[in-house]
């Protein structure tokens, strides 16, 4: 007998509900695995990147030493000056020396700027008496010729410090190196007060002849010839040596005379001298002892 109050289920619907219930039970009972984050640890085969090397500090380039040959040639045109040029540790050009002319230190600095690195040069130039410029002007061409010789005429002053400053009372002793041809030497000493002393020829050494490339020493007491001692007036003075194939003068000049009287005669003698005649000059500085 059928009970009218009992529910009636279709077979298909019942199977679906049972399957859903079993699936829900399975989901509730199953523990899903939890994977830990891999962000905190690197893989075992991962190699750390090497540390990046720091760039080397910039090293300023070493400035090139300027070529001074052209500047030296330009300075040689100052006939009344004895100038030297060098490069300091800071690569700055330095001009030093002595001038008897109207050479302006500023003009020398600008000249070095034109021939050098564009920087103004350090200039330390002493001034001598303008009267010493005239003999230097007379022999300027002969000095230029002399610099072109393989063995030029030269003057080497002997002093205690090795320079060209002599104290009062000190003997004037120097060597003259002859040029590369037999020559007759005319050696003159122009003083700061306008006189000239003819050191060779002199009353004790009437011949100034030397062989090619020979060394002639003047002023040594033990040699038995003339000797001279430094005395007042003190200041800048000048030695001039002229080497010619024949004597400049037919007879020796007075041992001492005024430069104003001697220079016209010297000019005339040089105009008649052989073209191979050469000359050299050297400034001296004398001071009280």
pLDDT band for 277, please (50, 70, 90 cuts): very high
pLDDT score, position 261: 96
Of residues 140 and 122, the one with the higher pLDDT is 140
Residue 120, pLDDT > 80, answer: no
Residues 155-170 have pLDDT tens digits of 999 876 656 789 999 9
pLDDT tens sequence across 236-252: 999 999 999 999 999 98
Quote the pLDDT of residue 23.
40
Judge whether residue 36 has pLDDT over 60.
no
Q: Is the pLDDT of residue 34 over 50?
A: no
CATH topology of 69-127 equal to that of 130-287? no
Helix H segments across the chain? 11-29, 69-75, 105-115, 133-138, 140-147, 259-271
Of 122, 73, 133, 62, nearest to 99 (Cα)?
133
Which range is least confidently modeled, 107-116, 150-159, 168-177?
Answer: 107-116
Residue 35 has pLDDT above 90, yes or no: no
Q: How far is CA 264 from CA 101, 113, 256, in A?
A: 19, 38, 15
| Domain 69-127 -> CATH class | alpha beta
What is the per-residue pLDDT across 43-84, written as a single tens digit (0 to 9) for each? 556 666 666 666 666 665 555 556 788 888 888 888 899 898
Instruction: Classify residue 205 by its DSSP letter.
Output: B
Percent of the chain with pLDDT over 90: 53
In this structure, which topology does domain 130-287 adopt according to CATH? Answer: Immunoglobulin-like (2.60.40)
Please tell me the total number of residues recorded for the chain in this structure: 289
**pLDDT confidence bin for 93, thresholds 50/70/90:** confident
pLDDT level of residue 31 (50, 70, 90 thresholds): very low
Domain boundaries of the chain, sorted by first residue = 69-127, 130-287
């Amino acid at each position: 007998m059928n009970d009218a109050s009992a529910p009636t289920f279709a077979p298909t619907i019942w199977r679906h509900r049972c399957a859903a219930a079993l699936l829900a039970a399975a989901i509730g009972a199953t523990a899903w695995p939890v994977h830990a984050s891999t962000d905190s640890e690197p893989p075992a085969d991962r190699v750390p990147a090497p540390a990046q090397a720091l760039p080397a500090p910039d090293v300023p380039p070493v400035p090139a030493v300027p070529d001074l040959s052209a500047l030296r040639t330009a300075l040689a045109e100052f006939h009344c000056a004895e100038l030297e040029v060098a490069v300091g540790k800071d690569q700055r050009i330095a001009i030093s020396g002595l001038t008897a002319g109207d050479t302006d230190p500023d003009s020398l600095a600008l000249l070095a700027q034109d021939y050098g690195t564009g920087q103004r040069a350090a200039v330390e130039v002493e001034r001598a008496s303008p009267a010493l410029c005239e003999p230097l002007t007379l022999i300027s061409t002969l000095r230029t010729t002399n610099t072109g010789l393989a063995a030029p005429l030269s003057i080497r002053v002997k002093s205690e410090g090795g320079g060209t400053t002599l104290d009062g009372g000190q003997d004037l002793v120097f060597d003259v190196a002859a040029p590369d041809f037999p020559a007759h030497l005319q050696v003159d000493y122009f003083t700061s007060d306008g006189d000239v002393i003819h050191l060779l020829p002199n009353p004790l050494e009437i011949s100034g002849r030397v062989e090619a490339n020979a060394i002639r020493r003047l002023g040594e007491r033990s040699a038995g010839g003339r000797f001279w001692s430094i005395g007042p007036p003190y200041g800048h003075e000048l030695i001039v040596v002229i080497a010619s194939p024949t004597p400049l003068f037919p007879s020796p000049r007075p041992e001492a005379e005024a430069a104003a009287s001697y220079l016209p005669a010297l000019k005339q003698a040089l105009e008649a001298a052989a073209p191979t005649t050469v000359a050299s000059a050297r400034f001296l500085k004398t001071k009280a002892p």
